[in-house]
Chain A
Amino acid sequence: MASLDEIKKVIVDFATNTKKSKFYFKDMEKAVQKVIPDAKSREIKKAATALINEGTLVYFSTGSSTMYGLKGRGISLETEETGKAD
């Protein structure tokens, strides 16, 4: 079984290198399971939550659905507020 730290590392790799700056939980889950096939979605969620709490990942929400992203990559609070994002 993969440890939380291993899963976190795969998530950060994915979030850093994936083409899109924000992605759905499912995309992240698939990316993790490619590297660690036996990782369960609950474990992946735990790892993602830990990364959120550490400030490495951020949530992006439209209000109706939610995505994840690496903090500072692509959309940031500043660009959002000056209206330059997307």
Chain B
Amino acid sequence: MSAEGEEKLWETKKYDEVRIYKDEEIWNYTDEELANYKCKHDTPLLDQLEEGPWPSFVSDIKQEALHRHKLPEDKLLIPADVCDDLLGQVELSYVEKETHWKHGGIVGVFGYGGGVIGRYSDQQEKFPGVAHFHTLRVNQPASKFYKTDYLRALCDIWEYRGSGLTNMHGSTGDTVLLGTFTEQLEPVFFDLTHDLGVDLGGSGSNLRTPSCCVGKARCEFACYDTQDICYELTMHYQDELHRPAFPYKFKFKFDGCPNCCVASIARSDMSYIGTWKDDIRIDQEAVRAYVAGELKPNAGAFGGRDWGKFDIQKEVIDLCPAGCMEWDGKELKVNNKECVRCMHCINVMPRALRIGTDTGCSILFGAKAPILEGAQMSMLTIPFIRVEKPYDAIKDIVDKVWDWWMEEGKNRERVGELIQRKGVQEFVTKVLGIPAIPQMAKEPRSNPYVFWSEDEVPGGWQRDINEFRKRHPR
């Protein structure tokens, strides 16, 4: 899958050519056999999880366990009962309330510092099938577009060389292949790269696999081409993705608009959120059609229940967080200067309201889950930047932030924590060299991060105390 104009190092095969199993081997058990399937270990606690209203991972793993037992032995390179032993070990952990996975290791594929997460059982005699249970992260295609023949080929490789269990997808975005033995890592990597034309993703202290929303491929709200920049930055920063030298992990996520379908604002150190500078486009006729009930609000997404007649005042105007909309019964007015691009009105009336035409993205920094410090969301830092090929202005920002973080960051300190420790002022004015704006401060008194520096103040920090006392006696 090399891009146009790039030299191909080898010819990627057709997915059909790398299939390992025949159709009858894939569909090799009946519903009855599944219902009667008896796992190698007793798992009463796990079995309870299957009784709830939701699909259970326990049922999924049992299904795969049965499937593997019915495959010919010469078509499995790791133990057939890996899934049974997995259930057995998890059951034991539920009983003892302690994990039996050993954390970390030196396993990986040659030259890569990421993409493989080493895990071993500390109960290898009881559960030999999961003695090794390494995970591989596979870089997903932009927006997770797949063809079924690719997925079949991928699943075959993993059935053959791994547990057959996958996670589509991990929260980083990757296709996650769960559980294999050390000696299978290089062969899986070879098959993925040579036969399927995909690479491993990131793990450890490096750039994690960038991910993006569906964007312009399907969504009219997309303010920029999320897929293109996601792919471009993935390729541009290959060294950072595969060879860890950061203080800790770093994530990019690309959302085409503030609906934030990949939750970039909560899950990425550097969140790119589409926005626009000009006005929301309004089709007044269509607004009136919504009010008259001719068009369904939210494109019918809440149609499952009777919510009563659509009330534009209650459901749109009063819910606008900026309070910047007005409806006089005939015409909808938006004070675009105050609009915070929350998307609410556009989501409710997509036929009547559209994003502006002068588009780009906002860049926010610092979201993370709790590790050293508590969880935090990204902070709006660059309100507007154009997102245009070859994205040089954006790459400049990335490089500046990484240089600062690699220089100043402590081991295992995320960039968001470094910004907290050093202050937003240093980050914004010194690292990025952009002016701070009042909106960056939540409350001037509790978050007083805009300080004067000495050269900005007449006379600097020095004062003549005698002169001062002449004017202000004790």
Contact = CB atoms under 8 A, between A and B. Distances in A.
Contact of A60 (B104, B131, B135, B409): B104
Given A60-B106, A77-B106, A65 B117 contact: no
B204 A24 contact: no
A41 B406 contact: yes
Given A24-B411, A77-B106, A83 B245 contact: no
Given A45-B245, A52-B111, A77-B106, A62 B204 contact: yes
Contacts of A61: 104-106, 108, 113-114, 116-118, 203-204, 244
A77 B108 CA distance: 11
Nearest to A49: B243
Contacts, number: 98
B182 interface: yes
Given A25-B244, A41-B406, A65-B248, A58 B204 contact: no
A65 B106 contact: no
Interface residues of B, number: 41
B324 interface: no
A50 B196 CA distance: 28
Contact of A63 (B118, B124, B131, B243): B118
Contact of A26 (B116, B120, B247): B247
A77 B117 contact: no
B246 interface: yes
Contacts of A77: 105-107, 182
Given A64-B204, A66-B205, A83 B122 contact: yes
Interface in B127-181: 131-132, 135
B243 A65 contact: no
A62 B102 contact: no
16 contacts: A24-B247, A25-B205, A25-B245, A25-B246, A26-B410, A41-B245, A41-B406, A44-B245, A52-B113, A59-B108, A61-B105, A61-B117, A62-B104, A63-B135, A66-B204, A81-B182
Interface of A: 24-27, 41, 44-45, 48-49, 52-53, 58-66, 69, 75-77, 80-81, 83
